[in-house]
Amino acid sequence: MLPPSRTAKQGAKGVVAKKVPQLKPIKGAPTPVATAEGDEQWTATELKTVRAELAKDLVRLKSELAEIETEMDELIERDGIGAGDDQADAGTKTFEREHEMSLVYNARDMVLQTERALERIDSKSYGHCEDCKNPIGKARLKVFPRATLCMKCKAKEERR
């Protein structure tokens, strides 16, 4: 026997098809972020807050970069000492060196992105796409304050 909210229909081959009630959207469900793209202007207070957070982040990133670069220098110095290592040791050293190099490159990139974001705030171009000049969108910049492209231009860039 079927529950009272569902009905059964007999098909041509004797298969029973159940009719399931349509699901209703949840009340108060969040609206997609993409619909709010660029609809609000930044206030001076919000820009000051973003700038202060980026400046504090820049100090932290520069400190991390200096530490990573020091570790990289020490690793390179140690690698030169181990003449006569077997293949496994040489492979391990190469892996460690490449890993440290990728950390240095990533840290440098984050420092540059942060400096660029601060320059864009100072030059009043923050929040506008560097390609199409349209607003980037407040929600996107709150999630990633270093963004320089709107979602459409970023998607185009990633497809290339």
So where are the chain's domains? Answer: 42-151
Q: What is the pLDDT of residues 44-92, one digit of tens each?
A: 899 999 999 999 999 999 999 999 888 888 877 776 665 566 777 777 7
- CATH numeric code, 42-151: 1.20.120.910
Put simply, whether the predicted model's pTM sits higher than 0.85 gets the answer: no
Q: What is the pLDDT of residues 95-143, one digit of tens each?
A: 887 888 888 899 999 999 999 999 999 998 898 998 888 888 888 898 9
Q: What is the pLDDT of residues 134-148, one digit of tens each?
A: 888 888 898 999 999
Phi, psi of 18 (to 5 degrees): -95, 140
Tokens of 139: 């929600």
